[in-house]
């Protein structure tokens, strides 16, 4: 095969995400000063906002019954006003002896999203969704085939993190009590197409308690298919999070078919933006590359990728080849292991740091969007 997937590349038009019903206002949507204003507007002193923040971000609770430092008369009213329920579990599946937990959530309007918690010996990582569905239309991705339903609010993103952190803390995940160390925006959706909510969510993750969870920015990864202006905008925010560029092909001809957004920005433009991000933030960029059998796993493509990365310098980038987690009924499938090994060897031989991504959850519909698709 030549690596071509189809005929003419699709045309992708970026349009505002549909609004199926605005989520209720939540503490995690608000900056600290806005929380104080909301509490004062309810007739209470501003310091109550810090108390609520300590419970939500520090104690990982939204249950007013656990907020015993608040007067009994205030607990329910303040929680109803600023801590409304956002996520309702619909289905939970586990794998890897209980250390991988995938949850399908229902939002306030019935929309479904997913998150995946993965526990390793030295860390625990949560993969969060930033949109319900996705408008990028990548043909090998389960979420891309769902289409875009709507953007998530910052609080709908943040609450995925709170619930996972609490489950780890309370020993509800195999391995005993633990701590959430990493959050990756690699679930449903294109994070940079929901820029403001994702940025607000990242700020809540890294701000110290009671303003946020106090996570290290270095433990947060934001992925993108290559929305060049948004990459540059993120670089200027002063948040040293890791950028992951979902490239999947080093040549424009194939990438236009695998990642239709390429009709707007070329491979070189996406790589240039990623290089600028690394130069501005000092953070090494990850290149995500799903290895698809007989489509993008050719040795010559590995060499071309290595050439494009090396010509922009050394030390700024790392490549993560990902064995494709196929969706049921799809013609897309993972590369033969020997072919994948040669692809990796070509990159390493050219001096490109390369680590094959650990894949989890294939037996539990681990690819993002699969559980949501089943519910349709």
The residues carrying an active-site annotation are 114, 368
Question: CA dist 133 to 129, 151, 349, Å?
Answer: 9, 9, 38
Residues facing 21 on adjacent strands: none
The edge-to-edge listing of strands for the beta sheet with 88-95 is: 88-95, 100-106, 112-119, 124-127, 182-185, 220-224, 242-246, 285-291, 317-323
- Nearest C-alpha neighbor of 246 from the set 184, 295, 288: 288
**How many whole angstroms separate alpha carbon 26 and alpha carbon 188?**
21
Measuring CA to CA, how many Å separate 92 from each of 40, 103, 115, 130, 366? 39, 4, 10, 19, 12
Reading the block at residue 263, the tokens are: 């009709």
171: β partners:
none
Is residue 30 within 8 Å of 58, Cβ to Cβ? no
Give Cα separations from 187 to 72, 92, 114, 237, 342 (angstroms).
Answer: 39, 16, 7, 22, 28
Beta-bridged to residue 93, according to DSSP, are 102
């Amino acid at each position: 095969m030549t690596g071509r997937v189809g005929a003419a590349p699709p045309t992708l038009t970026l349009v505002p995400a549909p609004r199926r019903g605005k989520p209720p206002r939540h503490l995690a949507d608000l900056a600290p000063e806005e929380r104080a204003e909301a509490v004062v507007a309810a007739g209470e002193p501003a310091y109550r906002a810090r108390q609520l923040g300590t419970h939500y971000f520090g104690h990982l609770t939204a249950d007013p019954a656990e907020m015993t430092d608040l007067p009994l008369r205030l607990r329910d009213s303040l929680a109803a006003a600023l801590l409304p329920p956002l996520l309702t579990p619909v289905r939970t599946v586990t794998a890897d002896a209980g250390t991988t937990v995938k949850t399908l959530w229902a939002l306030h309007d019935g929309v479904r999203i997913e998150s995946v918690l993965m526990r390793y010996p030295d860390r625990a990582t949560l993969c969060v969704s930033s949109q319900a569905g996705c408008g990028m239309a990548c043909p090998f991705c389960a979420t891309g085939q769902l289409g875009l339903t709507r953007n998530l609010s910052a609080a709908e993103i943040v609450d995925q993190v709170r619930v996972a952190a609490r489950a780890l803390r309370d020993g509800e995940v195999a391995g005993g009590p633990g701590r959430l160390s990493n959050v990756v925006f690699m679930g449903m959706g294109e994070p940079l197409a929901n820029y403001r909510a994702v940025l607000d969510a990242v700020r809540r993750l890294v701000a110290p308690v009671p303003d946020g969870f106090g996570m290290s920015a270095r433990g947060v990864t934001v992925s993108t298919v290559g929305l060049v202006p948004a990459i540059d905008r993120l670089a200027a925010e002063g948040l040293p999070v890791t950028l992951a560029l979902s490239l999947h092909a080093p040549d424009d001809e194939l990438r236009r078919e695998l990642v239709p957004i390429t009709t707007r920005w070329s491979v070189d433009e996406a790589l240039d933006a990623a290089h600028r991000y690394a130069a501005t933030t000092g953070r090494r960029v990850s290149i995500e590359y799903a290895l698809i059998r007989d489509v993008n796993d050719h040795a010559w493509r590995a060499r071309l990728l290595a050439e494009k990365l090396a010509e922009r310098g050394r030390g700024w980038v790392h490549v993560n080849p990902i064995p494709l987690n196929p969706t049921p009924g799809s013609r897309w499938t993972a590369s033969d292991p020997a072919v994948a090994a040669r692809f990796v060897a070509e990159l390493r031989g050219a001096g490109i740091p390369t680590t094959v991504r650990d894949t989890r959850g294939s037996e539990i519909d681990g690819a993002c969007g699969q559980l949501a698709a089943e519910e349709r």
